[in-house]
Amino acid sequence: MEDLVYWKNQCLPTINLLGDRVCYKGCVPSLDDYLNENEEHFMILPSAGENFSFAIFECLARGMPVIISSHTPWGNIGENRGGFILDDFTKMSLLLNYLIHLDDVQYQLYCDGAFQCAASYISNNKAEENYLTLFSCC
């Protein structure tokens, strides 16, 4: 915990208030360690809002397809078969039912698409160019 006071004053009371609806697991290992030790096939992040989301990028870069909301900057993953954008999470069971019936070849297409999404982001990244433009104006 980085901020023990925040944890004690904000997090714990909220967890206790929510009771059985929250299952606190303690500190989790880094995403890298977690992915190396487990065999998940998809990452699900039903976020109400993300800016870049390194967790999504790390999964894509590992070739792990993602299931996310449209509230991320990763709107092209569906086009590239890198995963699924799902805003109506009441349809999650339909999607999961589809996914568990994928054969290895079909699943690998999504894995390849996920990796391609990350590779495409890196090759099209204009961050350096944008920074040079920003700081050269002064």
Cα distance between residue 138 and residue 133, in whole Å: 10
pLDDT at 124: 80
Task: Please give the structure tokens belonging to residue 89.
Answer: 């999470």
- Given CA atoms 37, 29, 64, 57 in this order, what sign does their dihedral have? negative
Q: Are 95 and 129 in contact (CB under 8 A)?
A: no
Average pLDDT (26-48) is 71
What pLDDT band is residue 121 in, cutting at 50, 70 and 90? confident
Q: Are 50 and 72 in contact (CB under 8 A)?
A: yes
pLDDT at 40: 77
Per DSSP, the three-state class of 70 is coil
Ordered by start, the domain boundaries in the chain are 1-28, 39-127
Cα distance between residue 115 and residue 112, in whole Å: 5
Of 6-15, 42-51, 56-65, 125-134, the poorest mean pLDDT is in: 125-134
Per DSSP, the three-state class of 66 is strand
CATH superfamily, domain 39-127, is Glycogen Phosphorylase B; (3.40.50.2000)
pLDDT at 85: 92
Looking at per-residue confidence, does 72 or 99 come out higher?
A: 99
Task: Please give the structure tokens belonging to residue 51.
Answer: 């800016």
Instruction: Number of helices (H) and strands (E) in the chain: give both, helices first.
Output: 7, 3
Q: Are 31 and 49 in contact (CB under 8 A)?
A: no
Average pLDDT (9-37) is 73
pTM of the model: 0.66
pLDDT at 76: 84
Average pLDDT (47-72) is 87
